[in-house]
A and B are shown apart, each in its own frame.
Chain A
């Protein structure tokens, strides 16, 4: 077999991490896992870099907003959908986001706009049970 393990039209296994403690020290290892998974899914290095940064921003939002007490967990799932020619990454928490300040000011608030610029599609859902960010890229 000489396909280097990269996707040739068959879906690779999901990347799935559940109940991750919502603390910043957990995120670097997840970035690494995402980069390796994206490569197996056949994404270019450039697209992989965008996926990792956008997903990181979604996870950083969970750390900063989802649990005002600082205690909580979130789930990360990355799915390869070759028949739809896309990958989809979902970051989901079970928290109640602290309302962001109406005007974050010039020093903050770049995370969500960055996500929207880096991913081809971003859907943010929030309800009483939690918040999720679903990011999509064409592959």
Chain B
């Protein structure tokens, strides 16, 4: 079976909207590629955003390794940063729901809602 690199699996981009950091993920987040997401989030958090949105709209596969990064982000952001996830469709929605993580942080169906909704 051929081997795959993490770069082929996932791409992670960062955009800033004022003090909101938007981390846009495309591809598959699994054991191989989750560290890329983790590093991007760590880098963003050093810039002290007030809100962090991880947008998984372009993710077609989300494994428990990816869920661990989201749970870890929840822990790291705590009270200082408003942490939100965008997830739409069963590839991301199902694992978030089955593991109950969708109760631990706010999950929005679209990026726009995650960016404009004030709690």
Q: Which residues of A contact B (CB under 8 A)?
A: 17, 20, 23-31, 33, 46, 49-50, 52-53, 56-57, 60, 63-64, 106-108, 110-111, 113-114, 117-118
- For the complex, what is the distance from the CA of A104 to the CA of B49, rounded to whole Å? 29
Residues of B within 8 A of A23 (CB): 3
**Cβ–Cβ contact A107 & B75, under 8 A:** yes
A24-B30, A28-B28, A56-B63 as given contacts; A49 in contact with B94, CB under 8 Å: yes
**Cβ–Cβ contact B72 & A28, under 8 A:** no
**Cβ–Cβ contact B30 & A56, under 8 A:** yes
- For the complex, what is the distance from the CA of A31 to the CA of B32, rounded to whole Å? 13
Any chain A CB within 8 A of the CB of B48?
Answer: no
**Cβ–Cβ contact A63 & B64, under 8 A:** no
Any chain A CB within 8 A of the CB of B65?
Answer: yes
**Cβ–Cβ contact A26 & B3, under 8 A:** yes
**Cβ–Cβ contact A25 & B4, under 8 A:** yes
Closest to B6 in A: A25
B51: shortest Cβ distance to chain A, in Å?
A: 22
Closest to B34 in A: A24
**Cβ–Cβ contact A53 & B31, under 8 A:** no
- For the complex, what is the distance from the CA of A64 to the CA of B61, rounded to whole Å? 19
